[in-house]
A and B are shown apart, each in its own frame.
Chain A
Amino acid sequence: GAVVSQHPSRVICKSGTSVKIECRSLDFQATTMFWYRQFPKQSLMLMATSNEGSKATYEQGVEKDKFLINHASLTLSTLTVTSAHPEDSSFYICSAPQDGQETQYFGPGTRLLVL
């Protein structure tokens, strides 16, 4: 089946720094990717929809200047958490539907800890 990877799997950073998380579709093209955030013992909340070649679409309440999304190619989307703060600590998961297909494939997630 289709595989989505994320890098890094874990990252620890200091408050005020920026962190970039990559999401790659390894064996298929994805013009759209989704970024979710999951707090401990909670469900996944959609943050934004990443669109190849155009601006991302953010969900209500998500700061676009804080969570920068770039969909550089048909297989890569990046999420940059700018000026990270401890409250940004979370599990970030991306997903990608294979073009023309209904099923979304999820990455393994990135655990971010901001000290």
Chain B
Amino acid sequence: AQSVTQPDIHITVSEGASLELRCNYSYGATPYLFWYVQSPGQGLQLLLKYFSGDTLVQGIKGFEAEFKRSQSSFNLRKPSVHWSDAAEYFCAVGAGYGNKLVFGAGTILRVKS
């Protein structure tokens, strides 16, 4: 069965500092991996996704993520965090086309000025 672990429940970074949010997955085949962001009381917005090919994927808002098969990881990074990045971030894994997603527990990002 698929599972996703986001080991950090909360992360606080200073504005302008770099960010890395960790995500580890468990899945028997090549996974479809996603990062979503959710602002309070809102739905989910897709930041980026990985299906195949280049293991470093670029997303919106300056985010990127790297798929490392050997570590079963798909960590999200941003070189310089903005105050507007404060939100909750979810890593998710899917089995393929149109399949259901399994979400991690989420990481709440706080940005201090």
Query: A residues within 8 Å of B by Cβ?
Result: 6, 31-32, 34, 42-46, 49, 91, 93, 95, 97, 99-109, 111
Contacts and interface: CB of A to CB of B under 8 A. Distances in A.
B98 A99 contact: yes
Contacts of B94: 102, 104
B42 to A, nearest CB: 6
B100 A46 contact: yes
B105 interface: yes
Contacts of A42: 105-106
Nearest to B43: A108
Contact of B97 (A44, A49, A97, A108): A97
A102 B43 CA distance: 19
B46 interface: yes
14 contacts: A43-B103, A43-B106, A44-B103, A45-B103, A93-B43, A99-B98, A103-B34, A103-B49, A104-B98, A106-B36, A106-B46, A107-B43, A108-B43, A109-B41
Contacts of A108: 42-43
Measured as residues with beta carbon below 8 angstroms from the partner, the interface class of chain B is 20 to 34
Contacts of A106: 36, 43-46
B42 A44 contact: no
A35 to B, nearest CB: 10
Contact of B105 (A31, A43, A101): A43
B44 A102 contact: no
A66 to B, nearest CB: 20
B110 to A, nearest CB: 14
A101 B49 CA distance: 12
Given A43-B104, A43-B105, A111-B41, A101 B90 contact: no
